[in-house]
C-alpha cells in the first residue's frame, strides 16, 4: 500500500496509470459490444442458444435478452 501511495503522489505516474486504465476499459467495452453483436447475428441465423453461449462466453440470460 505504501508503494501505491508513493506512485500516486507523482502526478505524471498517476496520469499514465489513469490513461492506461481508461484504454483498458475502452478496449474491454469494444470487445463486449462486438461479442453481443456476434451473438445477435447467431440468434438471427437460428443457432442454438447453448452454442451461442459456448462461442461467445455470454451467459444464458444475456443471450435470451438479445432475442426479446
Whole-angstrom Cα distance, residue 33 to residue 67? Answer: 16
- Whole-number CA gyration radius for the chain: 19
pLDDT (mean) for 3-10: 68
Q: How far apart are CA 67 and CA 65, in angstroms?
A: 5
Q: What pLDDT does 3 receive?
A: 66
For 37-57, how does the pLDDT look when each residue is reduced to its tens digit (9 = 90+)? 999 999 999 999 999 999 999
Those residues whose C-beta lies under 8 Å from the C-beta of residue 45, and which sit 6 or more positions away, are none
The label of the residue with cell 496520469 reads 15
| pLDDT beyond 70 at 10 | yes
Selected residue with higher pLDDT from 67 and 1 = 67
Amino acid at each position: 500500500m505504501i508503494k501505491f501511495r508513493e506512485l500516486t503522489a507523482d502526478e505524471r505516474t498517476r496520469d499514465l496509470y489513469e490513461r492506461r486504465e481508461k484504454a483498458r476499459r475502452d478496449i474491454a467495452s469494444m470487445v463486449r459490444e462486438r461479442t453481443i453483436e456476434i451473438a445477435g447475428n447467431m440468434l438471427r441465423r437460428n443457432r442454438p442458444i447453448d452454442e451461442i453461449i459456448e462461442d461467445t462466453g455470454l451467459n444464458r440470460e444475456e443471450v435470451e435478452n438479445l432475442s426479446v
